[in-house]
Amino acid sequence: MDDAIHVIGMGLSIADLTASHLALIESASVLVGGKRHLASFGKATAVRKEISSPVSGVLDFIERHMASGLVVVLASGDPLFFGIGKTLIERLGPDKVVIHPNVTSMAAAFARLKLPWQDAAWVSLHGRDNMRGLVKALDDKNLLCVLTDPKNDPLVVKKQVVSHDYTWQMWVLENLGAPEEKISSMDEHTDTQTVFGQPNVVVLQKGELPAPSAPLRLGTPDNWFVHEKGLITKAPVRVLSLAALELGPTNILWDLGAGSGSVGIEATLFLPDGFVYAVEKNKHRKEQITANVKRFTVRNLSAVRAQLPHGLADLPRPDRVFIGGSGKDLDQVLNVVVKVLNPLGRIVINTVLMETLHLAVSVLDEKGFEVDITQAQISKSSDMPWGRRMEALNPVWIIAAQKGSSL
């Protein structure tokens, strides 16, 4: 690989370069990099080329000079972390490029804050319109690093953070590795006219979900529940499912594959003298059920951790059963449920899968249940810069089955 170019990550500054990095730079016939990087090697005798737009012109220059001696390209941080490394490999081929990794701004940011970052996610707003990516990451992740630019600065990130369901700790790290390095926290009191030093990154750590602003009610907003995004029966579907259960005041309800427990918890509104057993296999989600029970001061619900269909034999026989999740074991779960369900009891199953729909209906028909199917196709309004649009939720089949008095 004598004719390969060497792409050296500068880390945060020249102080992060190793002796081998410096030896390569000193031996270079051609030195390519940003203005700031090239200024760090003012005494080098190599032919210089500043990286500027369009990048295609820089790539053409590198290709023309590859045969004239050692070409070294200086990159910020790590060349393969939003750096020029990918572009050079695509243009020249992997055999013509040697990457020398170094400290990224993301790694440095977490090091400064003393935060382990093996579970952290990154979102780049640098030179791109990726606000949806940020919103999704806020929903799905607990620890984030956001790469910014002068347009998409920390104040833009803050607007998304303050409108999110959860509270967040927010740090801004400016000019990492430079003498003017600065680390600060942002909150609701941060001056909206603040100008941040470039470059900077934002680190976000998820906090608690604020307390509900009103008591539990039919169609309780999803964001009042502690839950993993996407793993909750949405409020409109929850209302339809509770209606399909036809709950009586003294009923015993099994909420199987309970997730965050939203259906079972809301069902307690209709069970003043009844009880709910919310069964969930996942430890973390069972903890979410317990947290939601506490949030809404629910007195008649017990969370049970069990891998369905195991664990059901120890529960009182149900009058109603809601199945929101059972995976590939639905047939085994139904075989248990139909036997222990009290006469005139009802089973309601929610699914987005055609295979589950077919399996559930087949089993319930075979067992002699009266089966009714509703497909809910719901769209909710979503704000746009100049109005609203409708955003479709996943279509859901609600399967309601009635047990006869003689079964």
HEC assignment per residue over 91-119: HHCHHHEEEECCCCHHHHHHHHHCCCCCC
Q: Is the confidence at residue 53, as pLDDT, over 90?
A: no
Read off the pTM. Answer: 0.68
Any idea which residue has 């990048």 for tokens? 55
**Does the domain spanning 222-402 belong to CATH 1.10.10.60?**
no
Q: Report residue 41 as tokens.
A: 């090697």
Mean pLDDT of 366-371: 94
CATH 3.30.950.10 spans which residues of the chain? 106-206
CB 319 within 8 A of CB 255: no
pLDDT band at residue 2, thresholds of 50, 70 and 90? low
CB 79 within 8 A of CB 9: yes
End-to-end CA distance of the chain: 78
Assigned superfamily of 5-103: Tetrapyrrole methylase, N-terminal domain (3.40.1010.10)
Gyration radius of the chain over CA positions: 29
- 197 φ, ψ (degrees, to nearest 5): -65, 145
Mean pLDDT of 388-395: 88
Domain covering 106-206, topology: 3.30.950
Q: Is the confidence at residue 264, as pLDDT, over 90?
A: yes
CATH 3.40.1010.10 spans which residues of the chain? 5-103
CATH 3.40.50.150 spans which residues of the chain? 222-402
Q: How far apart are CA 389 and CA 245, in angstroms?
A: 32
Mean pLDDT of 366-386: 88
Q: How far apart are CA 153 and CA 94, in angstroms?
A: 34
For residue 68, give Cα distances in angstroms to 49, 63, 250, 307, 378: 14, 10, 87, 67, 64
Percent of the chain at pLDDT exceeding 70: 99
Q: How far apart are CA 267 and CA 226, in angstroms?
A: 17
205 or 391, which is more confident?
A: 205
pLDDT tens digits for range 353-364: 999 999 999 999
Q: How far apart are CA 13 and CA 178, in angstroms?
A: 7
